[in-house]
Amino acid sequence: MIAKLSPFYRYYGSYLLRLFGIFALLFYGTSEVVMRVVTPGRRFYIPFLNQYFNYLEWLRKAVIHLAWIILKLLSYPAIIEQNWGLAIGNKHVFMAHECTGYGVMAFWIAFVFAITANKKWLHQLKWIAIGIAAICLVNSLRIISLLLTMHYHWPALLPFDHHTNFNIIAYIVLAVMMKFYINHIEGSNEKGIRPA
Amino acid sequence: MKILLNKQARTIILTLAVFVLPTIASAQFGPLPDSGSPDGPESTDVPFDGGLSILIAGAAGYGIKKYRNYKTQNEN
């Protein structure tokens, strides 16, 4: 039956299926399943998973600690508040699980899987790791910018609130990252290294 | 009535509508807390997934470009 479909549906359909299927699995799996089982007080809370499988907490700690290290290197008196927030003086930024960027990471993983064939998993793993590290860095820089803006009362450059402005900048960086990866993949294909 | 969109374009638009619209709808957030005082304690939360729909639409668009390249290669 699949063979009867036009090349467009076979090619583009399988691409979209990989992209949306993996994204939906990771995004909704995290927001609807993992978040429920690792959050104390929720209906399906499992303490064991919270202790050993709470990757949202790992992500949050990674982003906050990275932001804290950068601020310390810049000689700011930054304080980590019980692993869920960062403060300079009386200005605070709180990081809920929704702020870790797990949705963007889910998208990146799905994108890497969608545009490359399944065989060379080491290549995919490498680029997934690079992407996740870059997203964490962008997120940390976003939080630093937001905190410093609050600290110094800087005016907004764009006609939105600071949070939206820094999100726009972060998404531009992510789009550039996607473009860089696409160029890398297409360059590899031209050299005959890897058919996508 | 003249058909304005071909089958492929309709498929793309429908697919994007099905997958992207719920993301846009669920990506809204309320106003940020703000003390209003320049010297008083001030705090904010920082959700990051609001622009996901744009990235997804971009990736879906890139798939069309990939398909065109694939088609051109097959024709040559």
Complex prediction ipTM:
0.74
- pLDDT category at B29 given cuts 50, 70, 90 is very low
To test the contact with chain A by mutation, choose from B14, B21, B29, B48 the residue with the greatest count of A C-beta atoms within 10 A, namely: B48
Contact B76, A20 (CB under 8 A): no
Interface residue B33 vs chain A (CB under 8 A): no
Residues of B in contact with A178 (CB under 8 A): 55, 58-59
Average pLDDT over residues A38-53: 88
Out of B44, B56, B74, the one facing A107 most closely (by C-beta) is B56
**A54: phi then psi, degrees, rounded to nearest 5:** -90, 75
Say yes or no for a CB contact (<8 Å) between A91 and B74.
no
Longest dimension (CA), chain A: 65
Residue A178, CA distances (Å) to A33, A112, A117, A128, A174 in order:
28, 9, 17, 12, 6
Chain A 166-185, residues with CB within 8 Å of chain B CB atoms: 167-168, 170-171, 174-175, 178, 182
Residue B68 scores a pLDDT above 60: yes
- pLDDT category at A190 given cuts 50, 70, 90 is low
Residue A101 scores a pLDDT above 90: no
- Model pTM? 0.76
